[in-house]
Structure 1
Amino acid sequence: MDEGAPVWITRARPGALATAERVAALGFTPIIEPLLAVAFLDAELDLSHVAALAFTSANGVEAFVRLSAERSPPVFAVGRATAKAAQDAGFVSVSSADGDVEDLCDLIAAGAPGPVLWAGAREPAGDLVGMLRGRGVMARGVSVYETIERLPSAEMLARLGAPLTVLLHSPRAGRALAKLLDGRSTPGLRVLCLSEAVASPLAGFVEPGSVACAPRPDESALLDLLNG
């Protein structure tokens, strides 16, 4: 990509702000126009008999700390960004799977000291609780936030007809983008996805060869694709 080329940041705030800083540091022009917004839920947290916490996103961490002052249970996080969010929130014992939900399941199954509480999205991308139970780990989940699709501005939609690179971090964002692209001609669009699961909803809605997936579900790997 040419230096200064526009890169559309589609993830929800506040994560979009951190991504935009990294994109700008690489010499590109970030455009923050989320396809999703995060809404925190007034969930009731029952931490009785909970030996560890599991988070599959930084949003889950933020939602949890809004509801509880408890920071003593060990935390198992899906990746480094989620782990950092937990550490910044005051959790002392934080382990990162540095991967996806399956990697997190493996990490918890190997090291959880007892029953696990997962705090996450109302519509999660993967069933961590079910996977843990299948491995013999006592686990339950609570929805502490939800993601809501939002329509980009008319100015952003007009950019779809020009050369543009899009960053997608979740299957939900992939589905939202697919809806926007239905019936549109976007010959200059390049879509960079965090994983194959994120890219899957785009089949049939983008030009062949215009979608690339990070080799691992990590934002650093995703941003490496910008220079690919």
Structure 2
Amino acid sequence: MSDNASPPAPLVLLTRPRAASERFATMLRAEFGPMQIAILPLMEIVPLVTTLDLEDVAALIFTSAAGVEVFADLTGDRNLPAWCVGDRTAQAAREAGLKAMSAGGDAAALVALMADARPLGRLLHLHGAHTRGDVAEGLNKAGLRAEGRAIYDQRRISPGPAFTAALAHDGPIVVPLFSPRSARLFAEAADPVGANLRPVTISAAARDALPDRLARTATLAAAPDAEAMMQAVGALISPQTPA
């Protein structure tokens, strides 16, 4: 490489389930323009149930777009309101035909919103097998009547040759990590850790799930949502772009 050659462009490595990774890639390119993105999932969504009993349920609770998508495949019932953790999950619920309300934040914000609104009747939280923060427990402590049910799993996918090739990228490798579990799976798959990895974590819990060497270099998103993650990634791939 000559002295005047440009440094290698960053690579954004997306390891979430494919549908979620493709949505995030679309968001990034719409906001920041063309970029190198590798979609190499380390998890896949697998339904855990084949039917869903909604008898006596007054409202649904979702803390992920994946939960909405699995729900929509299980039943044609669209008559129940949906309380959603954030805007992306609420958007998925509306696209599925549900009337959705967004807490615009994390599980704690969702519990606070619902505790203030005091919805009546049986509330059903449809979530994945791996979840942080017991929303139903928080709502019950607030005097509401809620229960949770795992309707899908995020099953681990073993990394293949394409993943190994991505880790050999010459430039910075920006890795958005949306949960503590995704952080742990990435750290295991990327071991030994390369010097050019640039993790971006959605929460302090996700950052703390990384080994020390990665945690020290991780960028923490300003808020626990996709928009803040997008801006944090954008700041790393194009430092002149305001975050």
How high is the TM-score relative to the length of structure 1? 0.91
Residue 177 of structure 1 is matched in structure 2 by 186
1:1-228 matched pairs, under 5 angstroms: 4-25=9-30, 26-27=32-33, 28-91=35-98, 93-111=99-117, 112-161=119-168, 162=170, 163-182=172-191, 184-206=192-214, 208=216, 210-226=217-233, 227-228=235-236
Which range moved further: 42-51 or 132-141? 42-51
Post-superposition offset of 1:141:
1.5
Where does structure 1 differ by over 3 angstroms across 4 or more consecutive aligned residues? none
Deviation, structure 1 residue 207: 6.7
Structure 1: distance between partners of 2:213 and 2:76: 45
Larger Rg: 2
Rate the CA distance shift 1:138–1:191 in 2: closer, same or farther, 3 A: same
Amino acid of the residue matched to residue 12 of structure 1?
P
Q: Does the CA contact (< 8 Å) of 1:170 and 1:198 recur in 2?
A: yes
Are the aligned partners of 1:24 and 1:30 in contact in 2 as well (CA < 8 Å)? no
Aligned mates of 2:150, 2:193 — CA distance in 1: 38
Does structure 1 retain, via aligned residues, the 8 Å contact 2:51–2:75? no
Q: What's the CA shift for 1:51?
A: 1.0
**Partner-residue secondary structure (3-state), 1:8:** strand
SS at 2:207 equivalent = helix
Any gaps of 5 or more consecutive residues in structure 1?
A: none
Alpha-carbon distance in structure 2 between the residues aligned to 1:39 and 1:20: 22
Percent identity between matched residues is: 33
Name the Cα RMSD after superposition: 1.8
In the alignment of these two chains, the number of paired residues is 224
Query: Which consecutive unaligned segments of at least 5 residues does structure 2 have?
Result: 1-6, 237-243
> Structure 1's 10 and 106: CA in aligned 2 closer, same or farther, altered over 3 A?
same
Q: Is the 8 A contact 1:166 1:191 kept in 2?
A: yes
